[in-house]
Amino acid sequence: MKKDELRKIYYQKRLLVDEIQRKKLIEKILQELKKLTLADKYVSVYLPIKRNNEIDTYPIIELIEKMGGKIVVPKSNFQTGAMTHFLFTKNTRLELNEFDIPEPINEKVVQNSQIDVVLLPLLIFDQFGHRVGYGKGFYDRFLSDCREDAIKIGLCDFSPVEQISPLLTSDIAMDFCITTDKFYAFKKDE
């Protein structure tokens, strides 16, 4: 199915996700993340846009901190299409940008090459690990600048569709995706 179509359909579906379904998803995400070794790892976690009913990542951040991980959060530059990551601590001050995205305003920059794990926002994904987001390409540009061994994990309310099209050369597939029902691992072409 075409990205634009999927984006419209799953944006609307996500707005309808209720608190019970979302709580199950967060519990599944926490359960799966506990299986990872995150001590001393830099983990990129997006902060949710509440009006878009995005997954609440604050319980995830709390778990990663308890596991000894270092949280970094993105700040987007809508003029250049780039994201810069900042260390996120209990003292980090946040400010909503023009799109209601909470962003840090007083923290240390963390280089993309330092990031070990990336938790990815998305609307829907396919059985090959390709994702559909809001369509601005921020995460694909960021991921192309990360280390090749950085682990990319999507967080999604829905099971995958069969296939997303069209794929661009700039599209970067996920390594894994967590949904309420399943932990998906994607094979990489060698």
Over residues 32-41, the pLDDT tens digits come to 999 999 999 9
**Per-residue pLDDT tens over the stretch 104-125:** 987 799 999 999 999 999 999 9
189 band by pLDDT with thresholds 50, 70 and 90: low
3-state secondary structure of 25: helix
Domain count, the chain: 1
Q: Is residue 107 part of a domain?
A: yes
Q: Is residue 190 part of a domain?
A: no
Q: Is residue 8 part of a domain?
A: yes
Nearest to 22 by CA among 153, 160, 179, 154: 179
Average pLDDT, the chain: 94
List the CATH number of the domain containing 142.
Answer: 3.40.50.10420
Q: How many CA atoms lie within 13 A of 125 on its CB side?
A: 28
Nearest to 67 by CA among 26, 33, 91: 33
Q: Is residue 66 part of a domain?
A: yes
DSSP secondary structure string for all residues of 41-78: -EEEEPPP-GGGT----HHHHHHHHHTT-EEEEEEEET
**Per-residue pLDDT tens over the stretch 7-48:** 999 999 999 999 999 999 999 999 999 999 999 999 999 999
Q: Which two tokens stand for residue 186?
A: 């994607």
Torsion of Cα atoms, 49 then 65 then 17 then 183, to 10°: 130
Query: In which domain, by residue range, is 7 found?
Result: 3-185
Q: Is residue 84 part of a domain?
A: yes
pTM, entire model: 0.94
Q: Is residue 85 part of a domain?
A: yes
Q: Is residue 7 part of a domain?
A: yes
Given a cut of 60, is residue 86 above it in pLDDT?
yes
